[in-house]
Each structure stands twice: as structure tokens, then as C-alpha cells.
Structure 1
Amino acid sequence: MKINRAMTIETNEIQIGDRIQVGHYTATCQALPGKGLALFLLDQYLDKAMQMNEKNTNKGGYQESDLRGELNSEKILKDFTGLELAPFDNGDLLRLPFYGEMFGHDDWYNSGAVEPDDCEQWPLMKERANRVAERKGESYEWGWLQNKYVRSAAGFCFVNDYGFANDWDASYSIGVRPAFLIKLS
């Protein structure tokens, strides 16, 4: 009989697919971007659904969104205490995934409906099951992505509860599944 067993080990050598504990969440390594860094994504949505913007607009994109400010607030960052977080290029410690990281540049992306990004799909996200998430043991739900839906003045892209892409109005509250960088020793 063949058995696959998950094991907890102490190591400084992170690999794609490794899982860590982050407060009461878990997170999985999605990429190793070099420079002694590992990129992780929470496996669950944060406990509270959030709006991209209080006003129903995608003006300014994710960079000027209400959600970006809330995501990088002390209120949320406290759950990441104990991790040696590294900032992304824009200085943020937490961010939403890009469309390209979740779905690659598929037909919907190439149709011009999605704000462009220069991201490659994370290897684990090639499996639809890895794109879906839940919050607090509830059923699977929708979760925000950074990219605007360009055919609307209010829409942003999201991952639906079946692991497919769609768009939704910025003022609706849905799941938030942050990505973050950890410094490797």
C-alpha cells in the first residue's frame, strides 16, 4: 500500500507547495522569486469579507483602492506577527493576487476585458481546486483580484467559488486572500 503523509519539519529551504501557519490561517508557497524570498498565499480568505471600494468605482485601480489601505493596516498585519515579511515593489507587505498569477493569460484576459499585468501563472494555480477558498470553514466563496475589469467603471476581477474568473462591482464585500513575501535566512 502506498501512503502519502504530510510531515512537519524544521528547514530554511522553502519549496513551492510548502505550507506554514499564519495565526489561525495556513499559507502555501506559490513562487520563489529569488533574492532570498518566498511568495506565499493564504489558503483561506480573511475572516471578514471586504469591499474593494466603499464607492462603486474602479477609478485608480487597486493601487488607490480602499481595500489596499485596509489590507496593509495594523489591524490585519497583526495576524502576520512573527514572520519576517518583505515588502513588494510598491512597499506593501500584503497584496491581492493578480489575474495572471491565478489564471495565466487566458482567452478572457486576451479579449481585453482584464487590466493587463505581466505575471505568470503560479504553478499550483494551474489546478482549479487551488484557486478556490473558504472563510472560517464556510462554503467556498468569491475572492478579489487586483486587476480592474476594464469594460466597467465599477468592476474588478475575482475568483468565483468554482475557481473560475469573473468580475464584480467594487462596493460588494467578498473574500480577501492576501499574498505576502517572506525573507529566507
Structure 2
Amino acid sequence: MFLQRTAVAVARRAAVAPVLRRSIATTVVRRSENKAPTPAGIKPLSEIKTYEDLLGPGAAPGTVPTDLEQSTGLERLEILGKMEGVDIFDMRPLDASRKGTLDNPIMVKSAGAEQYVGCTGSPADSHNVIWLTISQERPVERCPECGSAYKMEYIGPEDDGHGHHDHHGWEEPKTFADFVKPEYH
């Protein structure tokens, strides 16, 4: 009985061993400088006018959809922009070549009422990331580690369309920053 089991184990190892010794082959794919044609049923970025244009066609029956076929909304807009070489959300890093001062802060564009900024110091990576929150109410913030100042430049719509701005009596909780003299901001 013992010999039968070892013979089976040796046979299994022999069958698997050549597969493990094979090297992995890779293929280099070269892209031409010409843009790839837009797949059928997909509108290019220049033809997107309404939200309905951002609905994907979906996959053919029996196939697994790609991101391009199933994405909708802002994700679809981002994918279509990347296909044409346009960075829709401007994901470039902030200017880290200098330290922002209160007179000349590092500007951060925001389409929303609030934006998060990760400060790594000046020169870059001189301290761990410290996350700061800048908003329309408090557009300037300073990093507590290095003192670099950041200012939010609001580029969103003037009216958010909700029609109410009092947030039903909700008030922002107070922090130590609320008790700092305004000239220190």
C-alpha cells in the first residue's frame, strides 16, 4: 500500500514539474501613432452633450463587458477623455517646488465646496503626508508640520441647485482652529 501511494505521488510530481520549469513568454505590442478607431456605438468625447450621452451600450449577450461598455456618468467621461489623451479631472500633482506662504499660497482648484490636500512638505517628501481640509468657508489652510499654505480656488457652479444653504440648522463643530486669531490664518 505504501509503495502505491509513493508511486502515485511521484507520477503527480513528474507531470507537474515540466510545467513549472517553463519560462513565461511575453509579447511586445507596438502602438502606432495614429489614434485607435472608436468602437461602434461609442461616442467620442467631442460629441458628449448631455447625461444620456454618458450611458454605455453594454456588452453583447454572452460576453463580459469592458469598462468602456459598462461605465456611465463621470467614470465614462474620464475613460473617453483618456482615450483621446485629455485629463478630465486634472490629476497632476500640486506645485511642490516651493513652500506656500500666506501672501503667495499654493492654489488648489476645486469643483466642490470642500477639498482635501495632502502636504508632504517642502522639499517634497520631507515629512509624512498630512491631510488638510480646505472649504469655501475656510479657503486657506496651513500645514502644521512645515507651515506651507494652501488656498482653494473654487471653479464649480455658483448655485448648487439645492435651493437651501442653511443645512437645516446644522453647524460645523468647533475645533482649535476656530479660536486662533484671524491674523494667524
TM-score (norm 2): 0.22
More helix by share: 2
The structure that has the greater radius of gyration is 2
TM-score (norm 1): 0.22
Considering Cα pairs closer than 8 Å and 6+ residues apart, tell me whether 1 or 2 has the greater RCO.
Answer: 1
More strand by share: 1
